Amino acid sequence: MSDLPIVVVPLSADDDALDACLAALDAGTPAGTRVWLADDAQAGPRGYAVIEQWMGRTALRADYTRRPRGVGEVAHLDEVLGACGDADVAVLASDSRPLPGWLERMATCMAADGAIGSTTPWSNAGEAVAWPRVGEIAPPPVDGERLARAAAAMPALRPELPAAVGHAVLLRGAARRRAGGLDATSYGSWYAALIDLSLRLAGLGWRNVLCESAFVARDAEGVPFDGDMERLAVRWPDWHARLANFLMHDPLHASRQQLAHLLDTIGPPEPQRDLFV
């Protein structure tokens, strides 16, 4: 679907995680969605085989690019985002597994408020947006389809986050470009570069929000490179205190409870209408 954001998947060397990510992406994303698999010389022979097989059968409009030599994940992703111009882009970690409806709901969330610069879905390993408990890593959901339906019933409050989180984030193209893109000079990890970008977006008046109706699973949280957090602290002296305050007071507690309640009480999926025509 050409009206949906572009999905960018920066590839890692974890072939098994990539295989699971691409399968979930295929199952949970509308046919025809534009997908860019961006390889900073990370995928090995098995990873390339996974990509080749997936490209041959997917219903998504997928492209794959590979640099001959790695330039680092932040520099590479900044290059990819720059090539997307003013288009809105959903950056999806290659070790994540998006649940059905994830992209449409994030796009709807962003379209509802022109001041939103980034929107992040729930995740079982999402730090500030972790579910069912803030700041904890829970096992990936057993019944992703049921959880996706429960999330779809959440009210659209779009609460503010201290920063976007790297398991999956939809970035508004115009906001990203105005903020100057990613800082590949200061940070080595997407984890830290995304925090920095989020804080620059907030400084320019854009909002970093939670999309309560979308969920993207992941086995582990992202991690910063050596020195990244120290550089963040120098540039943004109040960042660590702001994050700690958010985690301690958990302003999303009621939303977490509501999602848990919906998951417990959600009924079976509606029968497929075309079977009864």
As a whole number of angstroms, the distance between CA 174 and CA 162 comes to 20
Model confidence over 40-76: pLDDT tens digits?
999 999 999 999 999 999 999 999 999 999 999 999 9
> What does the alpha-carbon distance between residue 226 and residue 36 come to, in Å, rounded to a whole number?
28
Q: Is the Cα torsion angle 251, 235, 196, 178 positive or negative in sign?
A: positive
The structure tokens listed for 51 are: 């990509």
* CA–CA gap between residue 194 and residue 154 (Å, rounded): 26
Find the helix or strand (DSSP H, E) in which 144 lies.
helix 144-152
- Tokens describing residue 277: 């025509």
| Whether 93 contacts 222, CB under 8 Å | yes
Q: Could you give the strand order of the β-sheet that contains 168-171, starting from the edge strand earlier in sequence?
A: 61-66, 34-39, 6-10, 89-92, 168-171, 116-122, 207-218, 96-98
| Residue 29 CB burial class (10 angstroms; 0-12, 13-18, ≥19) | buried
Q: How many CB atoms lie within 10 A of CB 160?
A: 12
Domain boundaries, the chain: 6-267
Residues whose CB falls within 8 Å of the CB of residue 250, separated by 6 or more in sequence, listed in order: 134, 256
- Predicted confidence at residue 267, as pLDDT, reads 85
Within 10 angstroms of residue 205's Cβ, the number of other Cβ atoms is: 10
Full DSSP string of 211-233:
EEEEEEEESS---PPTTHHHHHH
Quote the pTM value: 0.95
Please give the pLDDT value at position 268. Answer: 84
Q: CA angle 58-102-15, nearest 5°?
A: 50
Which pLDDT belongs to residue 274? 46
Mean pLDDT by 10 residues, the chain (277 residues): 87 96 98 98 96 97 97 98 96 98 98 98 97 97 97 97 98 97 97 98 98 97 96 97 96 98 90 49
Distance separating alpha carbons of residues 3 and 181, to the nearest angstrom: 23
Cis peptide before 132 (omega within 30 of 0): yes
Q: How far is Cα 73 from Cα 184, in angstroms, rounded to an integer? A: 8
Question: The tokens 């970093």 sit on which residue?
Answer: 208
Class of domain 6-267: alpha beta
Q: Residue 274 and residue 127: Cα distance in Å, rounded? A: 40
